[in-house]
């Protein structure tokens, strides 16, 4: 049996995309949604992101067999508390947050009597808000589930089947391992992008006009990432603190190593690293996780 009544809390990029994907790929399931922002609720209703846009989170979860929280990771606990009383006893609760250990803890504390299976669809864009959603967001992307040990296997299988129906591939992981992996593949790259764009904008000897004019020299691709939602990313760094600091330490050491290679004119060291990294890019394209075109095939989004 698949989920029939799905409640989505938070109707921005992820929540909106989820509602659209369910409508497209699971037409027999009904969706109800809530967002804390009244303007987002209105826009979600206009765009038809979910079947019913509710005035409260409690209304949205009434009768639901699956509730998915699509709010910033720092807002998970408060969002869960707003509907805790109205949540049906047998409903499965999940989320889409970008960090997992702290979210798992927050949800377990807020909803101690429910089946909670934290999840992270590794799919997104630098856009946010209800207008950014699109139903194909999860197609051919990985969705990582981090089920606690005491959750029934049948519930994990049901949630896996739900995400597979939306086009995603499933991976089961321990939450701490998830946080370490995502620190290096997603969180540190965002931190580097935010920092380099900040550094360029603070320079006194290079004008802002020059930075923008010559951005195709690599800077432009960093600005795409650095345009990502400030609330979401503030929360990711505050909630995945340990793993990010661990990976940042290693990155800083490697950066210092490169600094030394440049200073000493160690051509082989530079060339070897740049050759190795090119292979990683090829692997990503070969596995269908990106597009080899110079615009990454992203013009439509």
Binding track, positions 100-139, relative to ligand NAP; x by CB under 6 A: ---------------------x--xx--xx----------
Q: Smallest gap, in angstroms, from Cβ of residue 187 to ligand NAP?
A: 10
Binding status of residue 73 toward ligand NAP by CB under 6 A: yes
C-alpha 185/C-alpha 221 separation (Å) is 16
Q: Smallest gap, in angstroms, from Cβ of residue 118 to ligand NAP?
A: 11
18 burial (CB, 10 Å; 0-12 / 13-18 / 19+) is: buried
Alpha helices (runs of H) in 53-187, residue ranges in sequence order: 57-61, 76-83, 101-110, 153-165, 175-182
Between 72 and 147, name the residue whose CB sits nearer to ligand NAP: 72
Counting Cα atoms < 13 Å in the Cβ hemisphere of 262 gives 6
Q: Smallest gap, in angstroms, from Cβ of residue 273 to ligand NAP?
A: 28
Binding status of residue 14 toward ligand NAP by CB under 6 A: yes
Q: Smallest gap, in angstroms, from Cβ of residue 213 to ligand NAP?
A: 29
> CA 173, 297, 127 angle in degrees (round to 5)?
65
Between 234 and 261, name the residue whose CB sits nearer to ligand NAP: 234
Binders of ligand NAP among residues 225 to 284 (CB under 6 A) are: 229, 232, 236
- Concatenating the DSSP letter of every residue in 234-290 gives HHHHHHSHHHHHHHHHHHHHHHHHHHHHHHHT-HHHHHHHHHHHHHHHHHHHHTTSS
H-helix or E-strand containing 18? helix 13-25
Binding track, positions 153-192, relative to ligand NAP; x by CB under 6 A: ----------------------------------------
Q: Smallest gap, in angstroms, from Cβ of residue 209 to ligand NAP?
A: 30
Q: Are 239 and 99 in contact (CB under 8 A)?
A: yes
Binding status of residue 36 toward ligand NAP by CB under 6 A: yes
Please state, as a whole number, how many other Cβ atoms lie within 10 Å of the Cβ of residue 72.
21
Q: Smallest gap, in angstroms, from Cβ of residue 9 to ligand NAP?
A: 5
C-alpha 159/C-alpha 93 separation (Å) is 10
Q: Smallest gap, in angstroms, from Cβ of residue 130 to ligand NAP?
A: 7
Stretch that binds ligand NAP, among 67-75, 192-200, 252-260, 291-299 (CB under 6 A): 67-75
Relative to beta strand 52-53, strand 92-95 is unpaired
Site residues (CB under 6 A) for ligand NAP?
9-15, 34-37, 40, 70-73, 75, 78-79, 96-98, 121, 124-125, 128-129, 229, 232, 236
């Amino acid at each position: 049996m698949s989920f029939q009544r799905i409640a989505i809390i938070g109707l921005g990029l992820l929540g909106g995309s989820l509602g659209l994907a369910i409508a497209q790929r699971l037409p027999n399931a009904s969706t109800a949604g809530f967002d804390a922002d009244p303007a987002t609720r209105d826009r979600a209703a206009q765009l038809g992101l979910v079947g019913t846009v509710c005035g409260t989170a409690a209304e949205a979860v009434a009768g639901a067999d699956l509730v998915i929280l699509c709010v910033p990771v720092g807002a998970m606990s408060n969002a869960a508390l707003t509907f805790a009383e109205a949540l049906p006893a047998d409903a499965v609760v999940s989320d889409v947050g970008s960090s997992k250990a702290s979210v798992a803890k927050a949800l377990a504390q807020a909803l101690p009597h429910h089946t909670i299976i934290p999840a992270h669809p590794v799919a997104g864009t630098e856009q946010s808000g209800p207008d950014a959603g699109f139903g194909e967001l999860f197609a051919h992307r990985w969705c990582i589930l981090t089920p606690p040990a005491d959750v029934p296997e049948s519930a994990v299988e049901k949630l896996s089947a739900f995400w597979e129906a939306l086009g995603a591939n499933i991976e089961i992981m321990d939450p701490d391992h998830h946080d370490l992996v995502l620190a290096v593949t997603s969180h540190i790259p965002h931190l580097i992008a935010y920092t380099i764009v900040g550094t360029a904008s603070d320079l006194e000897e290079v004008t802002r006009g020059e930075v923008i004019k010559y951005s195709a020299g690599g800077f432009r691709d960093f600005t795409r990432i650095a345009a990502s939602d400030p609330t979401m990313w503030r929360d990711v760094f505050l909630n995945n603190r340990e793993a990010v600091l661990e990976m940042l330490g290693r990155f800083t050491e490697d950066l210092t190593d490169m600094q030394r290679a440049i200073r000493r004119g160690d051509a082989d060291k530079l060339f070897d690293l740049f050759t190795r990294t090119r292979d990683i890019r090829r692997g990503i394209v070969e596995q269908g996780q990106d597009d080899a075109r110079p615009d990454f095939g992203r013009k439509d989004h």
